Structure 1
Amino acid sequence: MIIKLILVLLLGWTGLFLLKRYKASNSTRSSQKGTGQKMVACDVCDTHVPESDVIVKNGKNYCSKEHAG
């Protein structure tokens, strides 16, 4: 009788552990979706920078003020 109880408790604990792990992995995957930005290449050094950080001058993209100057 005690062995059955231990087995049931062990199976229940394993099931809860796997369920929590599954939920945690799904929440990190869903939070990572849609957070990326478009990357733009610098016309001087070809370094890719986020579109929000790029410096545009005369229709060209630059990664820094030094390259834009």
Structure 2
Amino acid sequence: MIIKLILVLLLGWTGFSLIKRFKVSNSNRSSQKGAGQKMVACVICDTHVPESDVVIKNGKNYCSKEHAE
């Protein structure tokens, strides 16, 4: 009787550990997908910003609206 209880607890703990490990590995993969964004330098201060955040004026890249003026 006690051996069955220990076996059930051991199987439950193993299953929980596997599920937890699977969730952590999936979250690591999804966070790495957005990490490949190109960085662009501002022509005024040489600060590098993601390409999606850059302000473009007259074909030049700026880090902010203030530097674009």
TM interval, short-chain normalised: 0.7 to 0.9
Paired letter, 1:24: K
Alpha carbon RMSD of aligned pairs, Å?
1.7
Structure 2 counterpart of 1:65: 65
Query: How many angstroms apart in 1 are the aligned matches of 2:52 and 2:4?
Result: 59
Comparing 17-26 and 28-37, the one that deviates more: 28-37
Q: Please give the TM-score of this superposition, normalised by the length of structure 1.
A: 0.76
Segments of structure 2 that go 5 or more residues without pairing to the other structure are: none
Query: How many angstroms apart in 2 are the aligned matches of 1:34 and 1:14?
Result: 31
Paired letter, 2:67: H
Greater per-residue helix proportion: 2
Segments of structure 1 that go 5 or more residues without pairing to the other structure are: none
**Kindly, what percent of the aligned residue pairs are identical?**
50
Query: How many angstroms apart in 2 are the aligned matches of 1:31 and 1:3?
Result: 43
Q: Which runs of 4+ in 1 moved over 4 A?
A: none
Q: Is 1:24 matched up with 2:12?
A: no
User: What count of residue pairs does the alignment treat as equivalent?
Assistant: 68
Q: Please give the TM-score of this superposition, normalised by the length of structure 2.
A: 0.76
